[in-house]
Amino acid sequence: MRPADTAALAAALERLAAIPDLSAQRAEALAAFAALRIALNAGEVRAAEPAAQGWRTNAWVKQGILLGFRLGQLTEYPPAGPLRYCDKDTLPLRDWRLGDGVRVVPGGSSVRDGAYLAPGVICMPPCYVNIGAYVDAGSMIDSHALVGSCAQIGRRVHLSAAAQIGGVLEPVNAAPVIVEDDVLVGGNCGIYEGAHIGAGAVLAAGVVLTRSTPLYDLPRGEVHRAAAGEGLRVPAGAVVVPGGRAVRRGRGPEWGLSLYAPVIVKYRDDSTDAATALEAWLR
């Protein structure tokens, strides 16, 4: 999509999203939302994208997606084998073709139209990718994994079984979860509330990251916390494992209580890379 076309689409979606009653503009709004879905499918527009100073959130994309939810009416979709779907008529599933270069393994996975999956992405069943998500080339979405609305996943990322990448649509200016290139997200991990995972990081199974989660960095002797209005940032190359910290207040010491705390135990090195090289054999 050309910059001029993108600017015009953004302006139209922002204007339409601000109208409380779209009865008179319904046809125009549906056409604008359809154009947005086409651009999202092609990866031509994104809910967030790399910029000169970090990442930029495109609030108008999320406004457009919310507009599609407003416009939609519940409908029954044609069955896919034994599976039946009832959802809003503005939010169909992606219609995959061999030329897309995406490997969708049979077994009940769903990808909403308006999500970009680059050539070389692998979807293991059953997984789910929501509208506005962006998954770059060579990444794997493993069984029971979720890529939430507007989440941004880089190249050669492995989202292991049952990993949950949270979505964000509201507030519209909030940054989505960002997982940069070459990250390994272990099984049953949860990454939420705009967390930003730096390139090459490794999250061990069971790590949960939210905006309010402090991240303890043993090698550097510091604690990472989310800045105001931002998600928690995991440094590039960090190896994060689930840990605990003692409760020192109230009856915590008497009862021997501890609270969950993610811990950076090291930064990625040759031995870590050797342990994760197994991914290449699965592709």
Consecutive H or E run containing 66: helix 59-71
- Structural domain boundaries of the chain? 3-71, 92-282
Residues 6+ apart with CB under 8 A from 127: 109, 110, 141, 142, 143, 144, 145, 146, 147
CA-nearest of 138, 136, 114 to 280 is: 138
Q: At CA 235, angle to CA 234 and CA 238, rounded to 5?
A: 90
- The predicted pLDDT at position 182 comes to 97
* CATH no. of 92-282: 2.160.10.10
CA-nearest of 109, 119, 131, 104 to 47 is: 131
Q: Are 176 and 170 in contact (CB under 8 A)?
A: no
| pLDDT band at 222; cut points 50, 70, 90 | very high
Reported residue count of the chain is 283
Q: What is the pLDDT of residues 63-103, one digit of tens each?
A: 999 999 999 999 999 887 787 889 999 999 999 999 999 99
CATH, domain 3-71, list 1.10.166.10, 1.20.140.10, 1.10.3720.10, 1.10.1060.10 = 1.10.166.10
Q: pTM of the full predicted structure?
A: 0.93
Q: Are 211 and 195 in contact (CB under 8 A)?
A: yes
| pLDDT band at 28; cut points 50, 70, 90 | very high
Fold equal for 3-71 and 92-282: no
- The predicted pLDDT at position 259 comes to 95
Q: Residue 257 pLDDT > 60, yes or no?
A: yes
